[in-house]
Structure 1
Amino acid sequence: MIVVTGAAGFIGSRLIHALNAEGYTYLVAVDIFDNPEKEKNLQGAKLLQRVDRRNFLAWLDQNEQEVEFIFHLGARTDTTEFDYQLLWELNTDYSKALWQKCTAYQIPLVYASSAATYGAGELGYKDEEALIPQLKPLNPYGESKNEFDKWVLQQQEAPFFWAGLKFFNVYGWGENHKGRMASVIWHAYRQIQETGRMRLFRSHHPDFKDGEQMRDFVYVEDVARVCLWLMHHRQHSGIYNLGSGKARTFRDLVTAVFSSLQLPAQIEFIDTPADIRDTYQYFTEADMGKLKGIGYPHPFTELEEGVRQYVARLESSRSAS
């Protein structure tokens, strides 16, 4: 059995469909299956079993001999969440408990970290494990992820293979349920359909013009491909960046959405909301040398092509509804 936590979520569901495409159907989906919008992500998926997240650790004790691999992608991913207790419970303590079971049962584990651990990028975006204790995330979500990364690196015992993946700005099909936390592409598509234009955050940083804040946008299908490759090549444990390796501006991204819709770009600027303005990242770019250095061979999808594919699927879904 292959287990995917966060299975009904954005990345988890795309990974399940990618596993199905490779012929894997003996899959255990772990989540809290109470969101109809997330349930749509698993339509057509071939699964062996669904397990409630709250019962999963006990389930693992009973079924560990049949589990071949675990992808731990479930987490509280809201970067505006300030309930430290909730974030530590879901993102840090739950992950520690799962790590300890994977260690005891020697089950290989790939888990989701985040580029939010890098904070403002004072130390750059290189996935050197020696730098991780020095990182200063800008929000509690990033802190909860970095705390687990630090804890992992302190462990004397580990699964025979494990990898933590620092996801950068992932976009693609399956994020409808994320609301405010969905990618700018998803918001752009909806706004353009409703108003014919797109609003972006104004820059509040003297080094960046409006719309020229930069992010490393990575296509969710590329993320799934990396996860599958790690499952097939269980040799180099560690913490890895997972982005495209190329920072692009929000203006580039939104222009690509307009282009995919064959519309002229109409962009307006609004102030960044006060609750996130002081912790807003103006530049992120994954150094992908470490993953490529262990042999990862595949190129990453160019932003314009990923946006084109994503918008085409959004258009297809819209016309079918």
Structure 2
Amino acid sequence: MIIVTGGAGFIGSAFVWKLNQEGIDDIVIVDRLGTKNKWKNLVNRQFAEFIHKDDFLPLICDDRVPFEVTAVIHMGACSSTTERNADYLWQNNYAYTRTLATWAIKHGLRFIYASSAATYGDGSQGFSDDHGKIPSLKPINMYGYSKQAFDLWALKNSLEGKIAGIKFFNVFGPNEYHKEDMTSVIFKAFHQIKETGKVRLFKSYKPEFSDGGQLRDFVYVKDCINTVWWLLQHPDINGIFNLGTGKARSWNDLINAVFAALGQKPDIEYIEMPEELRNQYQYFTEAKMDKL
């Protein structure tokens, strides 16, 4: 069995789709569905079992997993960069991952997990995934820190040769509708254009960036899952890796492309950014892709 945590989520459900495309359905999805429409990501997916994330933890802690496992693909996390409950983020993103990794390593299983470009903070330390530079990174929100904490734990315990971590940059694609405020700007732009004919973007509060000139590294979800699949097929390739395109694009450039795809003239309104977001906003991200 291949365990996919977060298998009903955005990247996780896409990876379950990829496994199905490869003829694999011996899959156990570990997730929680909640009260939103995340369950729809499971429709037409083939898998053997679904286990709630809270029910799965005791199984691995007590070594009572009732099926043979070959790999753990850990895509599950709270991905909200605005989540304020630090205890929740710590338990869900760091402690849960640590427990899962410890169990996987103990049993000699392939372990691939999702880190994040949020670990790079404001980018002042660069965007290199060189292991020696990771300890100097300074995340600017608790979500990023919860991801950074596990990366540091893995390095401190010399696990970089046993597991594979992926620092996802700005991922977009199908099945992200359940993420609400955390959906990609492409998803938001598409629906705003359909509903109002225009797109609202946050103004810039840094003089070196014009409104809409903020730059991010946008990567398509299917490119991401193809990389995860490749890592699954190459268990000798381990470490912590960036995953983006290696080329940043501005919000304006991206939104103009969405308007063009819909055959409409661009209409962008720049709005004030909430004050609580201004100190934790990334104005520039660009993956260094030399290693992967």
User: Following superposition, which runs of at least 4 residues in structure 1 exceed 2 angstroms of deviation?
Assistant: 33-36, 57-65, 158-161
Distance in 1 separating the partners of 2:33 and 2:79: 17
Distance in 2 separating the partners of 1:135 and 1:35: 36
Distance in 1 separating the partners of 2:270 and 2:35: 33
Distance in 1 separating the partners of 2:237 and 2:231: 9
Alignment partner, residue 146 of structure 2: 144
Q: How does 1:127-206 map to 2 (within 5 A)?
A: 127-156=129-158, 158=159, 161-206=162-207
Secondary structure in structure 2 of the residue aligned to 1:290: coil
Alignment partner, residue 8 of structure 1: 8
Shift of 1:34: 2.8
Shift of 1:48: 0.6
Alignment partner, residue 234 of structure 1: 235
Alignment partner, residue 252 of structure 2: 251
Secondary structure in structure 2 of the residue aligned to 1:239: strand
Q: How does 1:253-292 map to 2 (within 5 A)?
A: 253-291=254-292
Alignment partner, residue 48 of structure 1: 48
CA contact (8 A) 1:118 1:125 kept: yes
Question: CA offsets per residue over residues 63-100 of structure 1, 9 Å max, x none?
Answer: 37711111001001110012111110000111111111
Letter paired with 2:178? H
Shift of 1:218: 0.5
Secondary structure in structure 2 of the residue aligned to 1:51: strand
CA contact (8 A) 1:108 1:159 kept: no
Q: How does 1:76-95 map to 2 (within 5 A)?
A: 76-95=78-97
In structure 1, the gaps of 5 or more residues are 292-321
Q: Which deviates further from its counterpart, 267-276 or 70-79?
A: 267-276
Letter paired with 1:45? R
Distance in 1 separating the partners of 2:36 and 2:184: 20
TM-score normalised by length of structure 2 = 0.96
TM-score normalised by length of structure 1 = 0.88
Structure 1 residue 22 and structure 2 residue 22: aligned?
A: yes
Distance in 2 separating the partners of 1:122 and 1:259: 34
In structure 2, the gaps of 5 or more residues are none
Percent identity of paired positions between Structure 1 and Structure 2: 46
Higher normalized helix content (fraction of residues)? 1
CA contact (8 A) 1:126 1:287 kept: yes
Alignment partner, residue 296 of structure 1: none
Distance in 2 separating the partners of 1:121 and 1:76: 22
Distance in 1 separating the partners of 2:3 and 2:213: 40
Alignment partner, residue 106 of structure 2: 104
Aligned residues: 290
CA contact (8 A) 1:110 1:162 kept: yes
CA contact (8 A) 2:161 2:239 kept: no
Question: CA offsets per residue over residues 125-183 of structure 1, 9 Å max, x none?
Answer: 01011111111000010011101100010114x49741010010000101101111100
